[in-house]
Amino acid sequence: MSEGDGQQGVALTLDEVRSLARRVLRAAGLAGDHADAVAETMVAGERGGCASHGIYRLLVAANTIAKGKVVRDAVPVLTEPARALARVDGGGGFAQLAFETGKPVLVAKARACGIAALALNHVVHFAALWPEVEALAAEGLVALAFTPSHAWVAPAGGTRPVFGTNPIAFGWPRAAPNPPFVFDFATSMVARGEIELHRRAGRAVPEDWGIDAEGQPTTDPAAILDGAMRTFGGHKGSALAAMVELVAGPLIGDLTSVESIAADGGAGASPLGGELIVAIDPAGFLGDAVAEHLVRAESMFSAIEAQGARLPSSRRYAARARSLAEGVRIPEPLYADILALEASLTA
């Protein structure tokens, strides 16, 4: 670890990020297996140049732990409710270990049946979904993932929050050396963290990001945080947000975003609820012709990139290559906050 050398922030290798995250999470009281699993998603965030899902989330996770809104030593319990379905009851713990518990069974079921689904239930979720669909794509599977959050987002044509930021993630396997085709986006116009950042910076936001508590358009980020965010893409994004609520809420017997924020009771902890992950084995429909047809997908990717358009995740993958070679930079105030947190936890 070294400071300075001309660039901004504290320079860390990814191993140093990992060690720091594991140490702080353990100090916060998280069981070792959870701490390790949660730390990996923060490493993945930093590595991909996504600061908002990086080591910053130590502060978020520590808050959720301190508020008693996550079970620190929950033991995920796997069941198989149907031939092509798996379920992991996360017992109120963070989602990462629940996913790790269910992933091998989801992979096996997708390969055996052609398609399969995994429900994570009763988990606390604060991470991006792309690490999960990327992990499945790395196994050669096509994957979709959905999760509700807290009710912060109004339906199109409405004025009050019903939906969470309700991300949709998708992964598609590609032959080496290409990393999987992956996207992961909120069905809200922007991530909630974007609005937070504008509020902290005292900057106005575009008028289509949200509405105030009276349902009126506003460019004041604080008013939106007290009011409602908007979905992306008008009624289409709103329809997708509703779908995420349904398939990763009632369909798997878990909370909607309205129910999750009610359960939070103003603690400001991370959302509690479920996640649905669907995996499809290309060999199911294609048999021996998988490689032949995946090449046709590559033609589509080429047609996109040949005109100067980017594939989703291309920036993240470029950042990953840089981070693996050069390590990452953590803003000094954030690094100081994390060290202060660690000191307070170990005092």
Q: Catalytic amino acids?
A: 52-53, 194
Site for a second copy in 38-67 (CB under 8 A): none
Pairing mode of beta strands 10-12, 328-330: antiparallel
Q: Shortest approach of a second copy to residue 138 CB, angstroms?
A: 16
Site for a second copy in 313-342 (CB under 8 A): none
Site for a second copy in 158-187 (CB under 8 A): 158-160, 162, 168, 170, 172, 181, 183, 185
Instruction: Give backbone dihedrals phi and psi of 50, rounded to 5 degrees, phi first.
Output: -105, 85
For position 149 contacting a second copy by CB under 8 A, the verdict is no
* DSSP string for residues in 83-118: TTEEEEE-TTSBHHHHHHHHHHHHHHHHHHHSEEEE
Which of residues 63 and 238 has its CB atom nearest to a second copy in the complex?
Answer: 238
Contact between residue 122 and residue 102 where contact means Cβ atoms under 8 Å apart: no
For position 146 contacting a second copy by CB under 8 A, the verdict is no
Which of residues 1 and 286 has its CB atom nearest to a second copy in the complex?
Answer: 286
CB contact set of 97 (below 8 Å; sequence gap of 6+): 33, 34, 37, 38, 74, 76, 90
For position 310 contacting a second copy by CB under 8 A, the verdict is yes
For position 7 contacting a second copy by CB under 8 A, the verdict is no
Q: How far apart are CA 266 and CA 150, in angstroms?
A: 11
Site for a second copy in 277-296 (CB under 8 A): 278, 280-282, 284-287, 289, 293-294, 296
Name the helix (H) or strand (E) containing 27: helix 14-27
For position 193 contacting a second copy by CB under 8 A, the verdict is no
Which of residues 96 and 313 has its CB atom nearest to a second copy in the complex?
Answer: 313
Residue owning tokens 């504008």: 198
For position 272 contacting a second copy by CB under 8 A, the verdict is no
Contact between residue 48 and residue 322 where contact means Cβ atoms under 8 Å apart: no
Site for a second copy in 102-131 (CB under 8 A): 112-117, 119
Which of residues 188 and 323 has its CB atom nearest to a second copy in the complex?
Answer: 188
**CA count, 13 A, side-chain hemisphere, 99:** 27
Q: How far is CA 179 from the centre of its chain?
A: 18
Q: Which residue in 90, 155, 210, 227 binds a second copy (CB under 8 A)? A: 155
Site for a second copy in 219-258 (CB under 8 A): 232-240, 242-243, 245-247, 249-253, 256, 258
Q: How far apart are CA 177 and CA 242, in angstroms?
A: 37
Tokens standing for 134? 């990327």
For position 206 contacting a second copy by CB under 8 A, the verdict is no
